[in-house]
Amino acid sequence: MMKQFIIGISGITNGGKTTLANRLLKLLPNCSLICQDDYFKPDSDIETDENGFKQYDTIEALDMETMIKAVHSWIKLSQDVLAMEEKKEMCSTCEEKAYFLIVEGFLLYHYKNYYCRPLENVLNRKYFLSIPYEESKQRRSRRIYNPPDPPGYFDGHVWPMFLKHKKEMEETHSDIASQFTSKAAKRKCWSPSLGIIHLM
Active site residues per annotation = 37
Separation of alpha carbons 153 and 19, rounded Å: 24
Cβ atoms of residues 47 and 55 within 8 Å = yes
DSSP conformation letters of 169-193 = HHHH-S--SEEE-SHHHHHHHHHHH
Pair type for strands 31-35 and 3-11? unpaired
Question: CB count, 10 Å around CB of 34?
Answer: 19
Preceding omega of 118 cis (within 30 degrees of 0): no
- Which H or E run contains 127? strand 125-129
> Which residues does 22 contact at the CB level (< 8 Å), separation at least 6?
33
Separation of alpha carbons 143 and 140, rounded Å: 5
Separation of alpha carbons 112 and 178, rounded Å: 22
